[in-house]
A = this chain, B = another copy of it.
Amino acid sequence: MSSQKRFNVAVVGSTGAVGEQIIRLLDERNFPLHELKLLSSARSAGKKVRFKEREITIEEATPESFEGIDIALFSAGGDVSRELIPHAVDHGAVCIDNTSAYRMDPDTPLIVPEVNIDKISDHRGIIANPNCSTIQMVAALKPLYDRYGISRIIVSTYQAVSGAGAKAIQEMLRQSKEVLEGREAAPELLPVGSLPVKHQIAFNAIPQIDKFTENGFTYEEMKMINETKKMLDDESLEVTATCVRIPVVYGHSESVYVELKSDFDVEQVKSLLAAAPGIVLQDNLQLQQYPLATEAAGKLDTFVGRVRRDLSNPRGLNLWIVSDNLLKGAAWNAVQIAEYIAIEQH
């Protein structure tokens, strides 16, 4: 790839849980970089980050930071994206946004490469990365959607604390230690940093991720519902979701029930999944093999198992879908999109 075009890339949110993984992946994947600009809030500016043989100093992200940037990867929260992305677009950068700011914008393609890479060019400077819990589900369901059609999805999630950022990981580990030592576990951050009520996450399951909307679903649940329909370009698809935080560090697990539109053979479903890009089938009951968060952590793929037909509905199918929420669920999906842009512009 030595003679290929090289890109000026900016990472916004360089010190966050996702930003760190984006930088690591750009490094490990040998992304064709000309310049790498690491941006953050004023608070983290000045820190140095090791990248290949050099050190890069993090700079404060401002509207002017994007001059000369070809690709900008945003994961610093919705407000930062809303504020800075228009400037980055004005400067000619293609922005890959990991926040929810532009996901439902009709002019912004919402991309999981395994699902709808054909839409990648339909952008006006912004490509949105879907929500972590949505990415892995849609990546796993796409081959089934294409082959059989899907009429409805009922999903319950088992989401890792890293989805709420590095501070949430620290809180969960601290609380775990407190409980093990027989002390009171002091909740300070979760379930939602900006809301007043706090609940213990250590040795618990919290059925709230993000704020509640007026219909009784959380924003996280509405993201799964709306983003899935947008990505599959199917408003008739019935989706319902219950999103739950559990004491896992990395890796979201999902219990997914789907109703297919046509008859299926379970072994054929497994073959389709095993052959699908980015999907690894882990489904050997004899060996007690199924996806596990601890094993998916650090890996780029989405793992699927517990594939079985509903005993009461011949078109009902149960699946257990696991992926690293910071990787395929965020950083890797974003870098994957950047790689497609790089290939396209080569």
Known contacts A191-B288, A307-B216; A312/B173 CB under 8 A: no
Question: Any chain B CB within 8 A of the CB of A206?
Answer: yes
* Chain B residues within 8 Å of A216, by CB: 266, 285, 306-309
Q: Which residues of chain B come closer than 8 Å to A320, judged between CB atoms?
A: 207, 242
> Shortest CB–CB separation between residue A239 and chain B, in angstroms?
6
The 8 Å CB contact of A180, one of B173, B200, B290, is: B173
Chain B residues with CB under 8 Å of A152's CB are 312-313
Interface string of A164-195 (1 = CB under 8 A from B): 00000000010011001000000000011001
In the bound assembly, the distance between CA atoms of A308 and B216 in angstroms comes to: 6
Contacts of A289 in B (CB 8 A): 197
Find out whether the CB atom of A247 lies under 8 angstroms from the CB atom of B244.
Answer: no
B contact residues around A312 at 8 Å (CB): 152, 238-240
Q: List 9 A-B contacts (CB under 8 A).
A: A154-B154, A195-B288, A203-B293, A207-B306, A207-B320, A208-B288, A238-B310, A255-B255, A257-B257
Given contacts A173-B180, A180-B177, A288-B191, contact A308 B203 (CB under 8 A): no
Q: A177-B180, A240-B311, A306-B216 are in contact. Are A294 and B195 (CB under 8 A)?
A: no
Point out the residue from B217, B244, B257, B290 that lies within 8 Å of A253, measured CB to CB: B244
Contacts of A207 in B (CB 8 A): 253, 255, 290-291, 305-306, 320
In the complex, residue of chain B having the shortest beta-carbon distance to the beta carbon of A287:
B197
The answer to whether B158 touches A240 (Cβ under 8 A) is: no
> A240 touches which one: B177, B196, B257 (CB < 8 A)?
B257
Which residue of the partner chain B has the closest CB to A283?
A: B216
From B177, B205, B294, B311, give the contact of A246 (CB < 8 A). Answer: B205
Q: Which residue of B lies closest to A152 (CB)?
A: B312
Question: Contact: B215 with A242, CB < 8 Å?
Answer: no
Which A306-345 residues sit within 8 Å CB-CB of chain B?
306-313, 316, 318, 320
Inter-chain contacts of A204 with B (CB < 8 A): 248, 292-294
CB distance from A344 to the nearest CB of B (A): 36
In the complex, chain A residues 231-271 whose Cβ is within 8 Å of any chain B Cβ? 238-240, 242, 244, 246-249, 253, 255, 257, 266
Check A116 for interface membership: any CB of B closer than 8 A.
no
Residue from B158, B192, B225, B311 within 8 A of A244 (CB atoms): B158
Given A180-B180, A240-B316: A248 and B205 interface contact (C-beta under 8 Å):
yes
Most buried by B among A195, A239, A246: A246
Closest to A312 in B: B238
Known: A288-B197, A311-B215. A205 touches B318 (CB 8 A): no
Look across to chain B and name the residue whose beta carbon is closest to the beta carbon of A307: B216
Task: Determine which residue in A197, A248, A294 has the highest number of CB atoms from chain B within 10 A of its CB, and name it.
Answer: A294
> A123 CA to B257 CA in the complex, in Å?
37
Candidates B217, B311, B313, B316; contact of A311 at CB < 8 Å: B217
Q: Confirm or deny: A44 has a beta carbon within 8 angstroms of a beta carbon on chain B.
A: no
Q: Could you tell me which residues of chain A, from 211 to 241, have a CB within 8 Å of some CB in chain B?
A: 212, 215-217, 225, 238-240
Q: Which residues of B contact A299 (CB under 8 A)?
A: none
Cβ of A199 within 8 Å of any chain B Cβ, yes or no, is: yes
* Chain B residues, CB < 8 A from A291: 207
